[in-house]
Structure 1
Amino acid sequence: MNSDFLERTFSLKERGTTPKTEFMAGLTTFMTMSYILVVNPIMLAKTGMDQGGVFTATIVASVIAMLFMGFFANLPFALSAGMGLNAFFTFSVVIGMSHEWSYALTAVFLEGIIFILLSVIKVREAIFKAIPMTLKNAVSVGIGLFIAMIGVTGSGLVVANESTYLALGNIASKEVFVTLISLLVMGILSAKKVKGALLYGILFGTVAALILGVTSLPAGGILSLPPSLSKVAFKLKWDNIFTFEMFSVMFTFLFVDIFDTVGTITGVATKANLLDENGDLPGVGKALLSDAIGTVLGALLGTSTITTFVESASGVSDGGRTGLTSLSTGFFFLLSLFLFPLFSIVPGQATSAALIMVGLFMMSPIKNIDLDDFTESVPAFLTIIMMPFAYSIAEGISMGMISYVLIKLLTGKRKDVSVVMYILAIIFVIRYLRMI
Structure 2
Amino acid sequence: MLERVFRLSQNGTNVRRELIAGLTTFAAMAYILALNPAILSAGGSTGMNLSGLITVTALAAAIGCLLMAVLTNYPIAQAPGMGINSYFAIIIVTQMGVPWEGALAMVFWNGVLFFALSVTGLRTRIVHALPHPIHLGIQSGIGFFIAFIGFQNAGLVVGSAQTLVTEGHMLSAGPMAALVGLVLIVVLTRFRVPGAIILVILLITGAGLIIPATGGTLTAQPEGIFSMPAGIGQTFLALDWLYPFRHFESALPVIFTLLLLDLFDSIGTLIGLARQSGLMDKQGRMPKLGRALSADAAATVVGALLGTSTTTAYLESATGMQAGGRTGLTAIVTGLCFLVALFFTPIITIIPAAATAPALIFVGLLMAKGLGELNYDNMLETAPAVLTAILIPLCFSITGGIALGLLLYCAAMLLAGRGKQLSWLTYGIAVLFLAFFALSQS
TM range (shorter): over 0.9
What is the CA-CA distance between 1:364 and the residue it aligns to? 1.5
Name which of structure 1's ranges 398-407 and 118-127 shifts more when overlaid on structure 2.
398-407
Task: Specify the SS of the correspondent of 1:83.
Answer: coil
Name which of structure 1's ranges 426-435 and 380-389 shifts more when overlaid on structure 2.
426-435
Name which of structure 1's ranges 118-127 and 17-26 shifts more when overlaid on structure 2.
17-26
Deviations 1:216-242 (A, max 9, x none): 33222x121111011111111145422
Name which of structure 1's ranges 86-95 and 229-238 shifts more when overlaid on structure 2.
229-238
The corresponding residue for 1:223 is 226
Cα distance in 1 for residues equivalent to 2:129 and 2:307: 34
The corresponding residue for 1:41 is 37
Q: Please tell me whether residue 260 in structure 1 is matched to residue 265 in structure 2.
A: yes
Q: Is residue 69–residue 331 contact of structure 2 (8 Å, CA) maintained in 1?
A: yes
The corresponding residue for 2:396 is 391
What is the CA-CA distance between 1:12 and the residue it aligns to? 2.2
What is the CA-CA distance between 1:363 and the residue it aligns to? 1.1
Q: Is residue 53–residue 302 contact of structure 1 (8 Å, CA) maintained in 2?
A: no
The corresponding residue for 1:175 is 174
Q: Is residue 128–residue 280 contact of structure 1 (8 Å, CA) maintained in 2?
A: no
The corresponding residue for 1:245 is 250
Q: Write the letter of the residue equivalent to 2:403.
A: S
Task: Specify the SS of the correspondent of 2:240.
Answer: coil
Deviations 1:388-436 (A, max 9, x none): 1111011111112112222222223234322321110111123334546
Q: Is residue 186–residue 198 contact of structure 1 (8 Å, CA) maintained in 2?
A: yes
Q: Please tell me whether residue 124 in structure 1 is matched to residue 129 in structure 2.
A: no
Cα distance in 1 for residues equivalent to 2:325 and 2:281: 17
Q: Please tell me whether residue 63 in structure 1 is matched to residue 62 in structure 2.
A: yes
Match runs of 1:374-385 below 5 Å: 374-385=379-390
What is the CA-CA distance between 1:9 and the residue it aligns to? 2.2
Name which of structure 1's ranges 302-311 and 167-176 shifts more when overlaid on structure 2.
167-176
Task: Specify the SS of the correspondent of 1:307.
Answer: strand
Unaligned runs of 5+ in 2: 212-216
Q: Please tell me whether residue 10 in structure 1 is matched to residue 9 in structure 2.
A: no
What is the CA-CA distance between 1:297 and the residue it aligns to? 0.8
What is the CA-CA distance between 1:319 and the residue it aligns to? 1.6
Deviations 1:135-171 (A, max 9, x none): 2121110001111111111111111111121111111
Q: Is residue 9–residue 71 contact of structure 1 (8 Å, CA) maintained in 2?
A: no
Cα distance in 2 for residues equivalent to 1:380 and 1:125: 21
Deviations 1:357-408 (A, max 9, x none): 1111111122112222111101101110110111101111111211222222
The corresponding residue for 1:323 is 328
Q: Is residue 7–residue 13 contact of structure 1 (8 Å, CA) maintained in 2?
A: yes
The corresponding residue for 1:269 is 274
Runs of 4+ in 1 over 6 A off after TM superposition: none
Assess, with a 3 A threshold, how the Cα gap between structure 1 residues 328 and 240 changes in structure 2: closer, same or farther. closer
Task: Specify the SS of the correspondent of 1:230.
Answer: coil
The corresponding residue for 1:185 is 184
Q: Write the letter of the residue equivalent to 1:269.
A: A
The TM-score normalised by the length of structure 2 is 0.94
Cα distance in 2 for residues equivalent to 1:160 and 1:64: 36
Assess, with a 3 A threshold, how the Cα gap between structure 1 residues 416 and 275 changes in structure 2: closer, same or farther. farther
Deviations 1:86-108 (A, max 9, x none): 00011101111112111111110
The corresponding residue for 2:152 is 153
What is the CA-CA distance between 1:6 and the residue it aligns to? 2.5
Q: Write the letter of the residue equivalent to 2:221.
A: L
The corresponding residue for 1:99 is 98
Cα distance in 1 for residues equivalent to 2:430 and 2:7: 37
Cα distance in 2 for residues equivalent to 1:174 and 1:209: 9
Identity of paired residues, percent?
40
Cα distance in 1 for residues equivalent to 2:193 and 2:257: 42
Cα distance in 2 for residues equivalent to 1:89 and 1:142: 25
The corresponding residue for 1:199 is 198
What is the CA-CA distance between 1:290 and the residue it aligns to? 0.7
The TM-score normalised by the length of structure 1 is 0.96
Task: Specify the SS of the correspondent of 1:274.
Answer: coil
Task: Specify the SS of the correspondent of 1:219.
Answer: coil
Task: Specify the SS of the correspondent of 2:166.
Answer: strand
Cα distance in 1 for residues equivalent to 2:242 and 2:334: 37
Task: Specify the SS of the correspondent of 2:235.
Answer: coil
Q: Write the letter of the residue equivalent to 1:236.
A: L
The corresponding residue for 1:300 is 305
Task: Specify the SS of the correspondent of 2:165.
Answer: strand
Cα distance in 2 for residues equivalent to 1:416 and 1:142: 25
Deviations 1:166-225 (A, max 9, x none): 1111112112222122222212112212222111111111122111111233222x1211
Q: Write the letter of the residue equivalent to 2:309.
A: S
Task: Specify the SS of the correspondent of 2:158.
Answer: strand
Task: Specify the SS of the correspondent of 2:208.
Answer: helix
Task: Specify the SS of the correspondent of 1:229.
Answer: coil
Cα distance in 2 for residues equivalent to 1:382 and 1:216: 40
The corresponding residue for 2:419 is 414
Cα distance in 1 for residues equivalent to 2:253 and 2:315: 26
Unaligned runs of 5+ in 1: none
The corresponding residue for 1:51 is 50
Cα distance in 1 for residues equivalent to 2:83 and 2:336: 25
The corresponding residue for 1:20 is 16
Cα RMSD, aligned residues only? 1.4
Cα distance in 2 for residues equivalent to 1:373 and 1:107: 43
Q: Write the letter of the residue equivalent to 1:58.
A: T
